[in-house]
Structures are given as C-alpha cells and as structure tokens.
Amino acid sequence: MTTELPAPIDLLPHRPPFLLVDRLVELEPGERIVAEWTTTGEEYFYPGHFPGRPTLPGVLQVEALAQTGACAVLSNPDFAGRLPLFGGVDNVKFRRQVVPGETLRLEVTLDKLGRRAGKGTGRATVGDELACQANLLFVIVDP
C-alpha cells in the first residue's frame, strides 16, 4: 500500500516565489526526507544571476535544503504548526553549477531533533553529481 506524501506547500509557511521545494519523494517524519526542485529559467533571480549564463544561486540551494528539512520536522505531529528557523549553517560546499531546467534532488537527514532545536545534514544533487552539501542547525519556535 502506497501512502501519498503531502505537498510541501501544505507543510511549509513559505509561498511563491520563495517556496523552493516542488514535491516530496520520500519521507520519514522527523528523521529523513528526499524532495525535488526543478527550476525553469523563469524564476525571478535568473535574469540577474548571471546575464547570459543563468546559474542557481548557492544560497538558494542551501535554503532549498533547509525548506526540505523543515518539511521533515513539520511532518512529525509533535511539531505540526511550529516554525523551524535557521540557527546556523556549517561546512557548506558547492561542487557544481545548477542551471535552468535541472532538477535538484534534496536529501536531508535529521541527526538530532529536540523540542526547541535540531541539526541535520543536507545534500543536493543533479543526477549523480553533488551540487551542494551543508550541515544545518535550526531552532523551532511558535509562529
């Protein structure tokens, strides 16, 4: 029996144009998640980053990982309706450019999840190639 996964917009408070997760692929609430984000080239940031050579900004790759991790947190009934906020980001590495039309596969494992804070490890890939990785620290607050 297959369970349908929630839509990111049903879990996250983010809304377009700042919702950076299209769909969830795998979900273990409060533990692990895999999601996807495909850019088209029509997004607001591409004309300025960079003219003639559109490239997905690295900071938005990290934000997409954070939003993916937030979906894992918020899908846990103990945290429904709360708000995970960035507390820090460490060991960020960018390994390849991401260009319009590519699908970013976003994987986050929550290494520690407490009542008020947590830590996670994120990887963003395009196909088999690593695009970005980061350690995420977040605090969980009431909205």
Catalytic residue numbers? Answer: 49
Cα–Cα nearest to 136, from 120, 117, 116, 125:
120
- DSSP codes of every residue in 30-59: TTEEEEEEE--S-STTGGGS-TTS----HH
